[in-house]
Chains A and B, each alone.
Chain A
Amino acid sequence: MNFKVFCATIKKGIQIRIRAYPVSFMVGCILTSFYTILGSYLMYHYFFLGQLSESFELNARTTDYMSYAIVGSLMYQFIVRTCLNVSRTLITELREGTLESLMLAPFKRTSYFLGNMTMQTVLTIGETAVAAVIGIAFGFRISDFNLYHFIVAISLSLYGFFGLSLMLGCVMLYTRDTYISQNTLFAIIFLVCGITFPKEALPYCLQLFGNVIPVTDAVTLMRASLLGGLTDSEFLYLGLQEFILGTIYIVAGMPLMKHVEHIALEQMEG
C-alpha cells in the first residue's frame, strides 16, 4: 500500500467536500433514515399494536423491535453513503475529466480506493451519529453493548462494504450509469439483508441471495454488538463468514476494476 497516495486522496477528498459539501444530500440521507425509522415505528405501534410473533424473537434474538429496526436503518444509511461514494469515485473522475490524468500516474489503485473509503467513512460516521440521536426519540436503546464486538463489527463491515463498493463501481463505470445500478442495489439490500425485519421471513431463495451480499452479516454483527443476542462462537462464525465474503468481493473487484478502467478509457475514444 502506498501511504502517500492514501493520505493525499483523503486530504483531496476532504478539501473538495469542505468547498462543496453536498449538505442537501446529507440531509436527504438522514431523512431517509428518519423515514425508515418512522415507518417502522408506525407499523410496530399502530399495525402490529406492539405485538411480536415468536418467530421474530427467535430469528432477531431480541424483543426490542424498534432498536432492531433502528440499528438496521443506521447501518443501511452507512452502506448507502460509503458504498455510493466509493463506487462513484472513478465515474466521477470520468465525468469531471480527470480520469485520464489520474490513470496517467503510475500508482496502485488500492491506496486510492482505500483513501476514498476512509474519507467517506469518517464523514458518514458523523451523519450516522446524527441519525442515531433521532433514533433515540423513537425508542432506540443500546441494551447489551460489547466494545470488542463493536470494533470487530465495524472493521468487518467496512471490509465487506469496500468489496461491495468495488463491484458496484465496476458496474457503474462499465454501464456509465449511477442511478439505476445504485438504486437497484440499495433496494435489494433493503429487502434481503435484514434491515428492518429478519431475513428468515423471506423465501429461501431470497435468503440465499441475501447471504452473498456482505451487508446481511455486517448488520447482524452490528446488532449483536449493540443489542446482544449472539454467543461468542456465533459472533465469531458470522465474523469469519463476513471476512471471507468481503475478501471474495475485494479479490474479484480489484482486477475487475482495472479491466473496466481500460474499457472506460477505450470507450472514451471508440
Chain B
Amino acid sequence: MIEVQNLQKIYNVKRRQSFFKSYKESIEAVKDISMKIEAGQIVGLLGINGAGKTTTIKMLTTLIEPTSGTYSFDGINAIENPSFVKNKINMIAGGERMIYWRLTAYENLWYYGQLYGIDNNTLKNRIESLLQMVGLEDKANLPVETFSKGMKQRLQIARGMINDPKYIFLDEPTIGLDAVVTKELHDEIRKLSKVREKGILLTSHYLAEVEELCDYIYLVNKGELVVEGTKKDLTEYVYNRKQYCFSVQGMDENIIMRLHNYLISLDIDVEIVQQDDRAIITSKFELSSALAQFAIKENLIIKELYEIEPSLEQAVIKLSQQICREAESIA
C-alpha cells in the first residue's frame, strides 16, 4: 500500500522582473496532502485552481523529493529508498511524451526494458504480450513518428507496464484523445486494476472520467486536501439536500400547488420547480414515500419518481464556487 502523510512541496523559483533583473520566489505547490492507494484500487486525484496534482504524482514517483511529510511504500520509507519504489511503479502521462518517436514501438519497449534490467527472454515475451494488449502488434516495427495520437497513447500504456509495476500513476492519460480511443483506454485501465490487481492513481481534467473509473477520490485545492471519499460521499458532502423528479399524468399548476401544500407540512423549506410535465423537488428530507402517498391520495398515475443523483462534475463545480466565495469573503 502507498501511504503519504502531510506531504508538502515548496519550489524555489527564479522570476524575471526585467531583462536584467530577476528575483527568487518560494511557491508552495503542495501544502498538505495525505492519501492512500491500495492494490487493485483506482484512486482519483481531482484538483481545483492549480491544485498541485502533477507535483503530487512526481513526489509519489520519487522524481522529486517532498519538502516535508512522510511517504511509505509497502511499509518502506520511499523518500530514502527511491530505487525500491522505481522498480515497482511506473507513470503514464497524457500527450505524446515519454516515448522515442524515432524508434519503433518494439524498440521503445525493448530500450525501456533494458533500463529496468529485465532479462532478455522475459522482456521478449512481455513486449509481445503488451503490444497485443494495446493492439499494436501489427505496428510493432513502425517508427512511432508515423503513429496517430491514440496509438502513441496506447504505446505509452505498454511502456508504463514494461516493468510489470504494482502501482501505476496516470497523469491526464486521455488528454486530446477522441471518444472511441478514450473508451478503449478506460476499459484497459479498468482491466489493469480489477484483473491485474494494479493500484492506480488517476488525475484527469475530465470529471466524468474520474466518476466512471475511480473507486475513491481525493479532491485537492491549492495544494490542500478539501474532501475525500467515494463519488457518493463527495456529492453528499456538497449536496446536503436531496432532489427528486416527480411526474404524474395530467401534471399542471394545480397539482403542483397541491403537492407544495402537502410537502410543506413535512419540510417547511421544500422547493418545487416545474420543468415541462415534471416537478423537481428539493428538500433536506427523504421524500420518496411521501411523494408516492401523495399520488395515491390524489388518485394520480405516477409517470416518474426518482431521486436525482448529482454528478461528480456538478458537485466539483459547486464546491469550486463555494471555495471561491469563501476566499473572496476572507479577502
Residues of A within 8 A of B (CB): 2, 4-5, 7-8, 11-12, 15-16, 19-20, 96-98, 100-107, 262, 265-267, 269-270
Q: Is B115 an interface residue (CB 8 A)?
A: yes
CB nearest to A2 among chain B residues: B117
List 8 extra interface pairs beyond A8-B114, A265-B58, A266-B11, CB under 8 A.
A96-B100, A101-B99, A101-B112, A104-B63, A104-B86, A105-B115, A105-B116, A107-B117
Write the chain A residue with the least CB distance to B113: A8
Q: Does more than half of chain B's interface fall in helix, strand or loop, or is it mixed? A: mixed
**Contact of A269 with B54 at beta-carbon distance under 8 Å, contacts A4-B114, A104-B61 already known:** yes
Bound CA–CA A107/B82 (angstroms): 11
Q: What's the nearest-Cβ distance from chain B to residue A166, in Å?
A: 19
> Among residues 147 to 164 in chain B, which have CB atoms less than 8 Å away from a CB atom of chain A?
159, 163
Contacts of A270 in B (CB 8 A): 11-13, 27, 29
Cβ of B284 < 8 Å from any Cβ of A?
A: no
Interface string of B205-234 (1 = CB under 8 A from A): 000000000000000000000000000000
Contact between chains at A101 and B159 (CB < 8 Å)? yes
Residues on A with C-beta less than 8 A from B95 are: 97
Residues in B neighbouring A15, C-beta threshold 8 A: 102-103, 107
Report yes or no: A100 in contact with B54, Cβ–Cβ below 8 A. no
Determine whether the beta carbon of B58 is less than 8 Å from that of A16.
no
A residues less than 8 Å from B100 (CB atoms): 12, 16, 96, 98
Tell whether B130 is near chain A: CB-to-CB under 8 Å: no
Chain A residue contacts of B102, Cβ below 8 A:
15-16, 19-20
Query: Chain B: how many interface residues by the 8 Å CB criterion?
Result: 40
Give the A-binding residues of B (Cβ under 8 A). Answer: 11-13, 27, 29, 54-55, 58, 61, 63-65, 82-83, 86-87, 89-91, 93, 95-103, 107, 110-112, 114-117, 143, 159, 163
Name B86's closest neighbour in chain A (CB-CB): A106
Cβ-closest chain B residue relative to A17: B102
Closest Cβ of chain A to B142, distance in Å, is 11
Complex alpha-carbon distance, A100 and B94, angstroms: 13
Min CB distance B227 to A, Å, is: 24
- B160 shortest CB reach to chain A, Å: 9
Contact A100 B115 (CB under 8 A): no
Q: How far is the CA of A106 from the CA of B107 in the complex (A)?
A: 19
Judged by DSSP, the binding face of A is helix
CA distance A12 to B109 in the complex (A): 11
Which of chain A's residues has its CB closest to B52's CB? A269
Closest beta carbon of chain B to A44's beta carbon, Å: 43
Question: Which of B12, B29, B93, B112 is A105 in contact with, Cβ under 8 Å?
Answer: B112
**Which chain A residues border B82 with CB–CB below 8 Å?**
106
Interface pair A106/B83, CB less than 8 Å apart: yes
A170 → B minimal CB distance (Å): 17
Chain B min CB distance to A180 (Å): 15
A20–B87 CA distance with the chains assembled, in angstroms? 32
B63–A100 touching, CB < 8 Å: yes
Residues of A within 8 A of B86 (CB): 104-106
CA distance A192 to B102 in the complex (A): 39
- Distance between A19 CB and nearest chain B CB, rounded to angstroms: 5
In this complex, what residue of A is CB-closest to B143?
A: A19
B93: nearest chain-A partner, CB-CB = A100
Provide the residues of chain A in CB contact with B143, threshold 8 Å.
19
Q: How far is the CB of A93 from chain B (nearest CB, A)?
A: 9
Q: A97 touches which one: B87, B98, B110, B114 (CB < 8 A)?
A: B98
Q: Does A101 lie within 8 Å of B114, measured CB to CB?
A: no
Is the beta-carbon distance between B91 and A101 smaller than 8 angstroms?
Answer: yes
Rounded to whole angstroms, the CA-CA distance of A269 and B87 in the bound complex is: 23
In contact, A98 and B98 (Cβ under 8 angstroms) = yes
A142 to chain B, nearest CB (A): 38
In the complex, the chain A residue whose C-beta lies closest to that of B25 is: A270
Of B58, B83, B114, most buried by chain A (CB within 10 Å of CB) is B114
Residues of B within 8 A of A7 (CB): 114
Does the CB pair B116–A269 fall under 8 Å?
no
State how many angstroms separate the Cβ of B83 from the closest Cβ of chain A.
4
> Once bound together, how far apart are the Cα atoms of A19 and B89, in whole Å?
31
Measured in the bound complex, the distance between the Cα atoms of B112 and A2 in whole Å is 14
Residues in B with CB closer than 8 Å to A105 are 86, 112, 115-116, 163
Q: CB distance B97 to A100 under 8 Å?
A: yes
Answer whether A5 and B97 are a contact pair too, CB < 8 Å, given A15-B102, A104-B91, A269-B11.
no
A8 touching B98 in the complex, CB below 8 Å, given contacts A100-B93, A101-B159, A106-B86: no
Question: Can you pick out 8 interface pairs between chain A and chain B where the beta carbons lie within 8 Å of each other?
Answer: A8-B114, A19-B143, A97-B98, A104-B86, A105-B115, A107-B115, A265-B64, A269-B55
